[in-house]
Amino acid sequence: MSTPTRDRCCEAIRRTLMHYAGDALEASVVAEATLGILRQIAAQLTPVIGPRGIDALFRHSLHLTRTFLPWLAQSEVSEDSTVLLASLKAGLADLEPKAAIEASHALLMTFTKLLTSLIGKSLTNRLLSLVWVPLSPASEQETKS
């Protein structure tokens, strides 16, 4: 059963992916958008959990989303995060656009859930609210109606 908070997080991630991927809906654009979002997340979280913490959460998120990202299994063992990110980008770019969006969404949701379990919902929301694209005023009105 989903909760309102989880639904809002899920929607915020999807909205952000679509914002950065645009209407082109090419898998390579989705891949670049995903890496851009991950860079923004890293920038927000580095002061709180450090680069090693981010790397550990990212690797564990990849491991947990292997059903969406099976082609990353070999890259996961790499010590170099740059190699891992390059593999993620290349793998996402090789998917159909909708599959790339779903894989990216699953990865970002998993990362967010893991982060929440580590630092709590309130701090996660505060830190990541600076990354997620906010609802437009029109969308807020539709939600309230």
Euclidean distance between CA atoms 67 and 86, whole angstroms = 19
- Candidate from 56-65, 98-107, 131-140 with smallest mean pLDDT: 131-140
pLDDT tens per residue across span 71-122: 766 655 666 788 888 889 999 999 999 989 999 999 999 999 999 999 999 9
Task: Write down the pTM of the prediction.
Answer: 0.85
Q: What gap in Å lies between CA 145 and CA 131, rounded to an integer?
A: 26
Domain residue spans in the chain? Answer: 4-130
Q: What is the predicted pLDDT for the residue at 1? A: 43
The CA distance from 124 to 137, in Å, is 23
Residue 108: CB atoms within 10 A of its CB come to 26
pLDDT digits (tens, 9 = 90+) for 104-116: 999 999 999 999 9
Q: Does residue 58 contact residue 108 with C-beta atoms inside 8 Å?
A: no
pLDDT confidence band for 136 (50 / 70 / 90): low
Region 22-47: what's the mean pLDDT? 92
> What's the mean pLDDT when you consider all of the chain?
85
Closest CA to 14 of 32, 30, 29: 30
